[in-house]
């Protein structure tokens, strides 16, 4: 297991780090000002302009196969890129990518959905979570009833990222009510113009999810993605593909936060001495540094397993569980080091505090990760030390 980067990989890392420092971090004060005033942070136009600047340097479709015009980076470099992007809370993503399961579409579907999404002409959203089916994805109730050559979709989805902006949704619905656990769920590509609507959901963070409502929305059978009844496997492919990238991005945030804590400890004086001289503060910094290094190796191990064709699901669950809990502990320590100022909106720490809390919930809660890890060990799918 060799995590050394090649010269080319190091150049990619350096470029992304410089891009974040020069193009993204300068936007942070304005983003905070807007969000505090109830405005959207980064507008679609601003995001598109940042993506255009990155594209001029060749950064387009970082995880998109080269035959579709992307960079085709593997899991290891995607993890490295995510770490660097995590150094800012500005919600930037490189352009030129699409949901991985769209590649499973027919040629007609690729022309209508995949290629325009890669080109930035269309926006998708992944719609599986429901009010009564969050972690238990098999409990979804949205129905798709066959009616001649069409299906009629009825149901509601919730906490859908991009749900407000998307012009088509990747929707999972029950088509076989007798076998919904395995072969009863089908995936559909549903244009907004067919009649579904979205309603924004207010959250404690700046993530702006939406509820989607399907009130007898009629869709042609040609909108089925993959095979009828094989939707759950597609959903798991989507969820599991980048699970290790979530703690990777949190890792970058933790590195930035820890540096904020170190800088403050080295300048703030209390009772005639720097905070950095206080053992309580030293231990907070030391514990955070140890946990950051541990998280780095968990993330890179999961990425390495995916890179080398191994089954990385267990490693990714470990990385996400540890990353979610430790990122929350680290941001809490950094806020504590800053005292009252850390609790104010003068600094971005409280912004990260709210954002990182989401990591313990979405795309698999802490409890689901523990369940998965324990089940793998108890059933012998993985061995202790193996």
Structure confidence by residue, pLDDT tens digits, 220-275: 999 999 999 889 889 888 887 778 999 999 999 999 999 999 999 999 999 999 99
Q: Is the pLDDT of residue 181 over 60?
A: no
The half-sphere exposure of 352 on its side-chain side, counting CA atoms within 13 A, is 31
Q: Are residues 282 and 311 in the same domain?
A: yes
Name which of 97, 23, 11 is nearest 53 in CA terms.
23
> Which residues make beta-bridge pairs with 124?
168
The CATH number for 355's domain is 1.20.140.10
The count of structural domains within the chain is 3
Residue 235: inside a domain, yes or no? Answer: no
SS percent in the chain: helix, strand, coil, step 5: 55, 15, 30
Q: Please state, in angstroms and rounded to a whole number, the distance separating the CA atoms of residues 114 and 235.
A: 17
Residue 326: inside a domain, yes or no? Answer: yes
Q: Are residues 226 and 259 in the same domain?
A: no
pLDDT 10s digits, 141-150 = 999 999 999 9
> Which residues make beta-bridge pairs with 269?
274
| Beta-carbon count within 10 A of 204 CB | 10
DSSP structural state of residue 140: -
Active site annotation includes 67: no
| The two structure tokens encoding residue 355 | 């954002």
The fraction of the chain above a pLDDT of 90, given in percent, is 81
Q: Are residues 161 and 88 in the same domain?
A: no
Range of weakest confidence among 109-113, 181-185, 205-209: 181-185
Q: Please state, in angstroms and rounded to a whole number, the distance separating the CA atoms of residues 95 and 54.
A: 8
Q: Region 42-63: what's the mean pLDDT?
A: 93
Q: Region 284-309: what's the mean pLDDT?
A: 96
Q: Is the pLDDT of residue 92 over 60?
A: yes
The alpha-helical segments, DSSP class H, found in 20-64 are 28-36, 44-56
The Cα angle at residue 287 between residues 286 and 288, in degrees rounded to 5: 90
Catalytic residue among 329, 346, 363, 367: 363
> Strand, helix or coil at 344?
coil
Q: Please state, in angstroms and rounded to a whole number, the distance separating the CA atoms of residues 269 and 90.
A: 31
Run of H or E residues at 18: helix 7-19
Residue numbers of the domain that contains 141: 122-230
Q: Are residues 272 and 303 in the same domain?
A: yes
Residue 18: inside a domain, yes or no? Answer: yes
Confidence of residue 356 (pLDDT cuts 50, 70, 90): very high
Q: How many residues does the chain have?
A: 386
Q: Are residues 262 and 362 in the same domain?
A: yes
């Amino acid at each position: 297991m060799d995590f050394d980067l090649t010269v080319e990989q190091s150049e990619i890392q350096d470029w992304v780090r410089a891009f974040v420092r020069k193009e993204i971090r300068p936007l942070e004060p304005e983003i905070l000002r807007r969000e505090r005033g109830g405005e959207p942070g980064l507008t679609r136009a601003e995001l598109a302009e940042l993506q255009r600047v990155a594209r001029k340097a060749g950064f387009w479709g970082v995880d998109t196969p080269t035959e579709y015009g992307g960079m085709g980076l593997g899991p290891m470099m995607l993890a490295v890129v995510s770490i660097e992007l995590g150094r800012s809370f500005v919600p930037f993503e490189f352009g030129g990518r699409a949901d991985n399961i769209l590649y499973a579409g027919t040629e007609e579907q690729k022309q209508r959905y995949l290629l325009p999404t890669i080109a930035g002409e269309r926006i998708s959203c992944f719609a599986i979570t429901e009010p009564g089916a969050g972690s238990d994805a098999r409990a979804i109730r949205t129905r798709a009833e066959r009616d001649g050559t069409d299906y009629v979709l009825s149901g509601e989805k919730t906490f859908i990222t991009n749900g407000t902006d998307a012009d088509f949704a990747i929707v999972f619905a029950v088509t076989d009510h007798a076998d919904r656990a395995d072969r009863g769920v089908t995936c559909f590509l549903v244009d907004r113009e067919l009649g579904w609507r979205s309603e924004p959901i207010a959250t404690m963070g700046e993530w702006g999810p939406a509820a989607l409502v399907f009130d007898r929305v009629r869709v042609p059978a040609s909108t089925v993605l993959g095979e009828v009844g094989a939707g759950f496997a597609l959903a798991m492919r989507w969820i599991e593909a980048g699970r290790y990238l979530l703690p990777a991005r949190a890792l970058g945030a933790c590195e930035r936060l820890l540096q904020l804590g170190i800088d403050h400890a080295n300048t703030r004086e209390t009772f005639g001495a720097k905070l950095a001289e206080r053992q309580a503060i030293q231990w907070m910094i030391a514990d955070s540094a140890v946990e950051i290094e541990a998280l780095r190796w968990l993330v890179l191990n999961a990425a390495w397993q995916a890179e080398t064709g191994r089954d990385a699901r267990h490693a990714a669950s470990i990385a996400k569980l540890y990353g979610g809990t430790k990122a929350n502990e680290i941001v809490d320590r950094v806020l504590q080091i800053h005292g009252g100022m850390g609790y104010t909106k003068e600094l971005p720490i409280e912004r990260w505090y709210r954002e990182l809390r989401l990591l313990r919930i979405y795309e698999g809660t802490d409890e689901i990760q523990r369940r998965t890890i324990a089940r793998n060990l108890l059933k012998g799918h993985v061995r202790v030390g193996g």
